[in-house]
Every structure is written in structure tokens, then in C-alpha cells.
Structure 1
Amino acid sequence: MSGSRLFDDLVDALRVLPGVGAKSAMRMALHVLERDRERGAKLAKALALAIERVGHCKRCRNLSEEDVCNLCLSGARDSSLLCVVEGPQDLFAIEQATGFRGRYFVLHGRLSPIDGLGPNELGMPLLTERLDEGDVRELIIATNATVEGEVTAHYLSQMAVNRQIQATRLAHGVPLGGELEFVDRTTLAHAFGGRMPVER
């Protein structure tokens, strides 16, 4: 307790952010109130507007303040390539790190019955509609290499195979520049099991 109910409420509200504990939240609150109120007010306004106006694209389920996002509206994108990701953060990572010019579909999770996440919660009916349109030639499965991610990848690959669409999976394994002795066992086993012939 700080002696200020509003300060305590601010600290408590900041703790909703991932990785922010009580001490970090208190430091953030103190910084905003004691050193940078103007930018704190700007942050509050941006947060309120985003919460009010940002929803999901009706076509790909990415974050968007419009019914259809800019990536889906872009005529420069290749509609024959559809990359399925678990969340918007994965889409952002691919956009920043690669030259991918296809389209996306965002699941907002992965199949996990224990968490109540089935095909309907992940938007599979909408994805089915996308695949049935006939434009997609390759479904790029970019789910994470977790047990649930692999189950989701298998489900997606079956959806593609049933429609004679090529299904591809992002490669997982030893990172470039990595040394085998420092790679964790799961990654090494996955890389070893997914080995490919050396081109001559």
C-alpha cells in the first residue's frame, strides 16, 4: 500500500502485462508519474483507442481496426500462398524477418481441448472457406514446435491434403551458427528426425 489508492490501482493495472511483476509495475508507475506524465497520458490515450477500435480482420483474423486488414486488401500479395500462424506476434515476426509476400491466417492459439480450444475457437470454419475458394496452392504451416503446435499442424495438413493443396511446414532444428553441444535435446531430436539429403 502506497497511501494512494489511484497509484495502487495503476500498479495493479500494469501487472496485467506479461512478465511484469509487482516491482516492475511499481517502477513503471513511478516513472510515468514522476518523470514523464505527458508521455504517460499519450500511452493512456493510445491504449484506450486501441482497446476500443482494434478488432480482428474478417478474412484472416489478424488485428485490424477495419473489417478487412491492409494485408488482405493488398494487391501485391500472392493469394496462392497462405501462411497459418498461431498469433499476430508470429505474423509480425515473419513480416519483419522474411520476404514472404503471400497471405496469412491467424489462429489465435493452437488445438488444446484441455484449454477449451477446438477447431471452432481457432477459426477453422473460416479457414475452410478460404481453402475452398480455390486460390490457395500452398498452405504454409507456421505453428510452434510444441505438442499442441504439432497436433495443430497435423490437423491443418489434413485440411490441405483433403483439398489437394500442398502443405508445407516451417523447418525446425539446429539454428545457423549453433553448436550441437549447446542445442537442447528436443530441438536436436527434431532436427535429427527431420534430416534431409545433401544436394550435390
Structure 2
Amino acid sequence: MSPTRDIEALIELMARLPGLGPRSARRAVLQLVRKRDLLMAPLAAQLLKVAETARECALCGNVGTTEICHICADERRANGEICVVEDVADLWAMERAGVFKGRYHVLGGTLSALDQIGPEQLRIPALVARVADEGVTEVILALNATIDGQTTAHYIADQLEGRVRLTSLAQGVPVGGELDYLDDGTISAALSARKDI
């Protein structure tokens, strides 16, 4: 039995996290061990606390510690707009921007025939029910500009056609972007979505 077996097991677990490979995980664990009182003990306590209290919001699918997340519980955000996103990371990105003042709906992925992910595996039926029950006036499809994301957006648009205003995020040249560095698809989307000046 190796004297560092527990440490190696921690490195292997950390390496499973997105964005951390074996080297990054090893560096992180070494830093935690070196500063165990300052970093490791509080991290372990917080991980245990979150493991016990974290849950998905019953309405939108956001992650929090209550049955209904703070966004859905905020009556000021009941303005009839729902922004549909693929996962919680996308919701958090939208919130960081601080420009959307409505509510969200997290699908939990996108439709994918290859991965056998259909509407029932996602939160699409729950979205259709919310539109009917909550007096929604606009659904903003903020899905990734991938084949699966666009397929999902078209499916949702078909399900909600005639019931609510459907919009999507604009696509094209990013702020500060230079045309020379953009791919053909981005340039094409930007040209198609052009607007009057």
C-alpha cells in the first residue's frame, strides 16, 4: 500500500473536474496540502455543506439551496419573459451580464439523436407547461449556436408556435471582434442579422 494513496485518490478525483487535467489537479492538491488550515479544511467543510443542501429549482432548474431559486422567487422578475438556456452555467453567464430581468428555464442539455436525448429527457415539456400556466408573453431561446442547439431551438419553436412571442439571441460579430479572425459561419450569421444604422 502506497503511503500517498489518499493523496493520489484526491488528485484522481480532482482531475475529473472540467478544466482540470492530471497536472492541474496535482498542483491544486499540493497547494491544498501545503495550506490545509487556510484552504483545505474550509473547502472540505463547504463541499460537505453544499453536498447536503444543493438542489435544483423546481420551476426553472437553476441550482440553489431552496425549493424555488431566488430568481423565480423574485416577483419583480415575473414580467412574462422566460430565457431558455441549455444548462445552469449558461444561466449564470446571463446573470453575470446583468441585462436580463426576466426568469429562466434550464433545459438540461440539447436534443441529440446520436446520444438518444429526446424532449422527454430534457425539460421541454415543463417549459411548455410554464408558458401555459405563468402568463408568459415572450420566450427567448438563448441556446448555443451548434447543430444540436439549433435543432433544439427549432423543436421548441414548433411546440410553442402561436402561443407566445419567440425570439433568439443575435449571432454574429462579437464586441471587439475583427473580421479577419472570424470563421465563415459567424460572418454569415452577422450578415444575415444585419440591422439599420
User: Does the 8 A contact of 1:79 with 1:135 survive in 2?
Assistant: no
Superposed CA deviations along residues 49-86 of structure 1, whole A, max 9, x for unmatched, are 22222111111111122111111111111331011011
The equivalent of 1:77 in structure 2 is 77
Q: Provide the C-alpha distance between the structure 2 equivalents of 1:20 and 1:2, rounded to a whole number of angstroms.
A: 24
Q: Percent identity?
A: 38
Secondary structure of 1:115 counterpart: coil
- CA deviation after TM superposition for structure 1 residue 195, in Å: 2.8
Deviation, 1:177, is 2.5
Alpha-carbon offset, residue 133 of structure 1: 1.5
TM-score, structure 1 normalization: 0.91
Distance 2:35 2:52 in 1: 28
Gaps in structure 1 of 5+ consecutive residues: none
Aligned counterpart, 2:166:
167
RMSD: 1.7
Mapped partners of 1:94, 1:168: distance in 2? 16
Shift of 1:121: 1.4
* Deviation for aligned residue 1:160: 2.3
Flag as ranges the 4+ runs of structure 1 deviating above 3 A.
none
- Whether the 8 Å CA contact 2:109–2:122 is kept in 1: the answer is yes
Q: Measure how far apart 1:35 and its partner are.
A: 2.7
- Number of residue pairs aligned between Structure 1 and Structure 2: 197
Paired position in structure 2 for 1:47:
47
Specify the SS of the correspondent of 2:80.
strand
**Structure 2: how far apart are the matches of 1:56 and 1:27?**
32
Residues in 2 aligned to 1:27 and 1:176: alpha-carbon distance in whole angstroms: 35
Indicate the residue corresponding to 1:190 in structure 2: 189
In structure 2, relative to structure 1, the CA distance for the partners of 1:162 and 1:134 (3 Å cut) is: farther
Question: Which residue of structure 2 aligns with residue 122 of structure 1?
Answer: 122
Q: TM-score, normalised by structure 2?
A: 0.93
